[in-house]
Chain A
Amino acid sequence: MTTTPIRLQPPPVEPAPVVSVSAASHNAKMLEPAELSVELSGVNAFYGSRRVVRDISLPVRSNAITAIIGPSGCGKSTLLRCINRMHELTPGAHVEGRIEYHGIDLYAPDIDPVAVRRTIGMVFQQPNPFPTMSIHDNVAAPARFNGLIAGKAAEHDLVERCLRQAALWDEVKDKLKAGGTSLSGGQQQRLCIARALALEPDVLLMDEPCSALDPIATLQVENLMVELKRDYTIIIVTHNMQQASRVSDQTAFLTMGDDRAGYLVEMADTVEIFTNPRQQLTEDYVSGRFG
């Protein structure tokens, strides 16, 4: 084996705000550049020759929740999957444009996509705990495989910390050996969040994380997101506008163009988007007139 395991440090309590100022985004002016975590500039995504995302530029603020909303089929999920380089796993799919993470071009030739996915966590629409692993192992195994922890005690600490962060600890602390799939849907989703947290990412991508959950579980996950933004940068794709307005700090509104590719209509602070949008399209969408 030729690689040495890539060891990630735990995120510091206080983020040190030193980032090069990027002039790429016209929307960046309303944000403090130092706060940028992920920055997309001119991103296009393709399935084969079909373009599904057109020329999207998004500055994503650190320690905030950024919601991506828009009608179904407008490329929200695809855009999200470009950020941790999941999109290119679909045969024939590719990405053009630039995505920077704290100033690092994530698509530079010397960047390892696997390491990107380790650094930028993702939670999916459907909870997907590993069926043959216990609750404990679902959280511990990925961290163990990546060489982040060694030893039973460290493992146990990690599992407890992540499950607490995911607000699941009290419900499962007595049955850590039970199968991951024995939990309810909402619990499974929080388990998947805990599993993603175990890799100590600082960005968490959430692809409609509540669409398979009931209202109570949805509320729990939403509260969790607000908790988590102290330590993490969260980008959430949702078709649920109430959810976006409840939890997010900034919102990007995408819609489908005539070429059936999604493009960015407007991005601003969430309050702005929902109370005082600059574009007519946005107003129509958030007031429920289309979509």
Chain B
Amino acid sequence: MSSSALAVSDRLRATSRARHAKDRALMVLAWAALVVAVVPLVAIAWFLVEQGVRSISLEFFTSDPPGDLSASGGGIRNAVVGTLLMTGLATLIAVPAGIALAVFAREIGGRVAGSVRFVVDVLAGLPSIVVGIFVYSLVVVTTGHFSGLAGAVALAVIELPVIVVASDELLRLTDRRIDEGTRALGMLRWRSFLSVFIPTALSGIITGVLLAVSRAIGETAPLIFTALGNNFFTLDMNEPVQAMPLLIYRNALNSAFPAARDRAMGTALVLVVIVLAFNLMGRWIARRARPADQR
């Protein structure tokens, strides 16, 4: 091997050890960070499955909790039904309202739309407990009592900005060319939205709705001042209604009692499964739709 070849090979090899060391140090740090973040995920999953599964039985879903938290037995039927009722009603309110606001912001434009976007941004940034206080003042104080309806309104206010932002962003992404296509064909605007823009953005809007629902289902703080909670089963939305997060919270505060502790963990497992199901479904739809968006 000639000396010049040696020099070249040295040059090729010796790209500063120090720089490579930094590169490697960064890798180590980054992996360590990931471990720091994922350890809790695994720990929580393990904790829920290991401790929660034993509470789960048929009775857990078909009966209501005993009046006394410290007593064992009973189930969480009232909380499951209450959560579904309130989240369902909230979604029925928030989805049309959210899409209407997004369509409004896009179609009307100008300063009014700007202020609507601002209100939505403020709502999106509000701590959920503040939303609870707002709805308490608006609904509970006005009607004079806590109710499932108030809880549903609070959850709707939490869902609303998520749905508006998802729809707004997507309606905006809808190509300008498509917009011109509908204009040049002399299509009426409501027709363009109904038949072209919203269908084009639909998967994104559905993703937004599913993520909003998955967030609303797990909310506790706003329900404390609105739905309040109820030890009994009820379908009457004018009465206080129980919800899974409320049940977990109240039982956890009494976790010195083994029965309350087990009940809280069983419910938490069910809640996390439901929330993750909605969340993953939303992400799955978003992912499936992505190639179509890039057309």
Q: In the complex the two chains form, is A145's CB within 8 Å of B184's CB? A: no
Q: Is the CB of B185 within 8 A of A195?
A: yes
Query: Does residue B175 face the partner (Cβ distance < 8 Å to A)?
Result: yes
The yes or no answer to A124 lying at the interface (CB within 8 A) is: yes
A71 at the interface (CB under 8 A from B): no
Quick check: B183 and A117 within 8 Å, CB to CB? yes
**A142 and B185 within 8 A (CB):** yes
Given A86-B180, A132-B199, also A181-B295 (CB < 8 A):
yes
Bound-state Cα–Cα, A52 to B121, Å: 38
Q: Within the complex, what minimum Cβ distance (angstroms) separates A91 from chain B?
A: 8
**Chain A, residue nearest B199 (CB):** A132
| Distance from A12 Cβ to chain B, minimum over Cβ atoms (Å) | 21
Q: Does A114 contact B (CB under 8 A)?
A: yes
Q: B181-213 interface mask toward A, CB cutoff 8 Å, 1 = contact, 0 = none? A: 111111110010001100110100000000000
Q: Are B186 and A117 in contact (CB under 8 A)?
A: yes
CB contact list, A78-136 vs B, under 8 A = 84, 86, 89, 91, 114-119, 121-122, 124, 126, 128-133
Q: Is the CB of B186 within 8 A of A115?
A: yes
Residue of B nearest to A129 (CB): B181
Is the CB–CB distance between A196 and B184 below 8 Å? yes
Interface size class of A (residues with CB under 8 A): 20 to 34
Asked whether, in the complex, the Cβ of A130 is within 8 Å of the Cβ of B186, the reply is no
With CB as the reference atom, state the residue of chain B lying closest to A127. B177
User: With an 8 A cutoff between CB atoms, is B26 at the interface?
Assistant: no
Is B178 on the interface with A (CB-CB < 8 A)? yes
In the bound complex, residues from chain A placing their C-beta under 8 Å from that of B180 are: 86, 89, 124, 128
Q: Which residues of A contact B185 (CB under 8 A)?
A: 117-118, 121, 142, 195-196, 199
**For B184, B292, B295, which residue has the most chain A Cβ atoms within 10 angstroms?**
B184
Closest-by-CB residue of B relative to A85 is B183
The complex places the Cα of A133 from the Cα of B181 at a distance, in Å, of 13
User: A247 interface residue, CB < 8 Å from B?
Assistant: no
Closest to B109 in A: A91
Tell me if A130 and B181 are in contact (CB < 8 A): yes
CB-based nearest A residue for B201 = A132
Give the B interface residue count (CB, 8 A). 21
User: Is A118 a contact of B186 with CB atoms below 8 Å?
Assistant: yes
CA distance A213 to B216 in the complex (A): 48
> C-beta contact mask, B23-37 vs A, less than 8 Å → 1, else 0?
000000000000000
Interface membership of A141, Cβ < 8 A: yes
Interchain CA distance A260-B199 in the complex, whole Å: 41
A64: Cβ under 8 A from any B Cβ? no
Q: Is the CB of B186 within 8 A of A199?
A: yes
Cβ-defined contact, B181 with A124, below 8 A? yes
Determine whether A268 belongs to the interface, using a CB cutoff of 8 Å to chain B. Answer: no
Known contacts A124-B177, A141-B195, A130 near B184 by CB under 8 Å:
no
Residues of A contacting B178 in the complex (Cβ-Cβ under 8 angstroms): 128, 130-131
Query: Complex Cα distance A118/B183, Å?
Result: 9
Interchain CB contact (< 8 A) of B200 among A91, A122, A132, A141: A132
Contact partners of B200 in chain A: CB under 8 A: 130-132
**Please, which residues of chain A bring their CB within 8 A of the CB of B187?**
114, 142, 145-146
Give the one of A115, A124, A126, A128 with max B CB within 10 A: A128
Alpha-carbon gap, A196 to B196, bound state (A): 16
Contact with A along B156-194 (1 / 0, CB 8 A): 000000000000000000010110111111111001000
Q: What residues of chain A lie closer than 8 Å to B175, measured between beta carbons? A: 128
In the complex, what residue of chain B is closest to A138 when comparing beta carbons? B181
Query: Is A58 in the interface zone, CB < 8 Å from B?
Result: no
User: B109: which A residues are within 8 A, CB to CB?
Assistant: 91
B-chain residues with CB within 8 Å of residue A142 when the two chains form the complex: 185-187
In the complex, whether A192 has a CB less than 8 A from a CB of chain B is yes
Q: Does the CB pair A122–B196 fall under 8 Å?
A: no
The answer on a CB contact under 8 Å between A114 and B186 is yes
Closest Cβ of chain B to A176, distance in Å, is 18
B181:A86 contact, CB within 8 angstroms: no
Known: A131-B295, A132-B202. 5 other contacts (CB 8 A): A89-B183, A119-B186, A130-B181, A130-B196, A142-B185
Task: Show the binding face of A for B, using Cβ within 8 Å.
Answer: 84, 86, 89, 91, 114-119, 121-122, 124, 126, 128-133, 141-142, 145-146, 181, 192, 195-196, 199
Nearest 9 Cβ contacts at the A-B interface: A118-B186, A122-B184, A132-B199, A128-B177, A117-B186, A128-B181, A142-B185, A145-B191, A114-B186
